[in-house]
Amino acid sequence: MESDLDQEDAQHLGFFGIIKESIHIVVSFRHIFTQITLAFVLPLSIVFLAHILISELLCGQIFDNEDQLLTTNIGSAKYTKISDILDSEYSTFFIFTILYYIFLLILSLLSTSAIVYTIASIYTAKDVTFTKVINVVPQVWKRLMVTFIWSFIIICAYNFVALILLCLIAIMDLDVGGLDLLAFLIIYLIGIVYISIVWHLASVVSVLEDLHGIQAMNKSSSLIKGNRLIASAIFVTLNSSFVIIQGSMVIAGAKDASGVPGNRVGYEIFFLFLLVVLILFGLVIQTVIYFVCKSCHHENIDKSALADHLEEYRGDYMPLKSMDVQLESVHP
């Protein structure tokens, strides 16, 4: 069984068309996506939810002890005790945050690997099972890690340049008004959105083409041309939904902090479900966007070559040359 998405039709998919096609893929192949969700997406969502809840608890304790420290005589035994407790809490929070980002990164890359490989297998009419996905994921994960590292470097460099510009403005005491700062913020956010879109599409490129790292980023930047508006609208919508879920979860928890414990558990399960659905469809959507971008650039996707490329991950096919794997361009 394969996806009924035709390459000619793909280039005409807009904002709602991409979302509709993503829903259709998940519903049509719900068995394999349910397995992937339980194995990767659900743990990823649980890690994110746990981070919010535990961070809220740790920060609450830190704030309480900081308030007590301000009203305690410096040098007293109580002051020393509270100070030691704060140092321990800061260390705990730091270690917890590092572990959170490590698990978040690993589960994010594993989820991306599994979903992109699955959709590509569906597109090429290959028989895809959860066992095959599990065997392939460790191989694809390595390529995605290289792409992520380059994306991280680029984002850090971009933020560093933005910070330098702000510092120069402050040092030179330039007469910058509120509108100028707003314009600077808008430009900065546009840049962050663009880099994030390129990174997410580069993750798909890293799985489906013989490219990874900075090469995948360059390929992604090239593919996104002509589709920036649609990709940006989808990216902003998904991330806005993510922020809304996170904010609603914090607000609901705060309102029910002194209420019935069972109510909060109910809220957490509900928000966990929303997170799972959002992450799953977000990963499916970014893969569909890849095929849409390829179609819009009239780059023919050779299903046989793509199928052979996917088999290479499993060791069932002799490695192809880069020029054979690379999806060639076809001019109309």
225-253: buried (b, 16+ CB within 10 Å) or exposed (e) per residue?
A: eebeebbbebbeebeebbeebeeebeebb
**Does the residue 239 lie in any domain?**
yes
Question: Max CA-CA distance within the chain?
Answer: 81
Supply the pLDDT for residue 45: 92
- Picking from 315, 330, 303, 329, the residue whose alpha carbon sits closest to that of residue 126 is 303
DSSP tag of 2:
-
How distant, in Å, are the alpha carbons of 31, 83, 112, 135, 282 from that of 26? 9, 52, 15, 21, 11
Alpha helix segments (H runs only) across the chain: 7-10, 15-28, 30-36, 42-70, 77-123, 130-171, 178-208, 214-224, 228-255, 261-296, 303-314, 322-325
How many other CB atoms are there within 10 angstroms of residue 26's CB atom? 19
- Asked if residue 17 belongs to a domain, the reply is yes
Positions of the chain with pLDDT lower than 70, given as ranges: 1-12, 172-178, 180, 253-264, 297-303, 307-308, 314-332
How many domains does the structure of the chain reveal?
1
How far is C-alpha 219 from the geometric centre of its chain's CA atoms? 19
| Half-sphere exposure at residue 105, Cβ-oriented, CA atoms within 13 angstroms | 15
Cβ distance 2 to 121 under 8 Å?
A: no
| Structural domain of 250 | 7-151+197-325
Does residue 315 fall inside a structural domain? yes
In a domain, residue 318? The reply is yes
Let me know if residue 190 belongs to a domain: no
Domain membership of residue 99 (yes or no) is: yes
- Position 173 scores a pLDDT of 60
Burial call 105-128: b when 16+ CB within 10 Å, e when fewer: ebbbbbbbbbbbbbbbbbbbebeb
Nearest alpha carbon to residue 120 among 278, 282, 309: 309
Gap between the Cα atoms of 231 and 194, Å rounded: 9
161 within some domain: no
pLDDT of residue 325: 41
Q: Is the pTM of this model over 0.85?
A: no
Does some domain include residue 274? yes
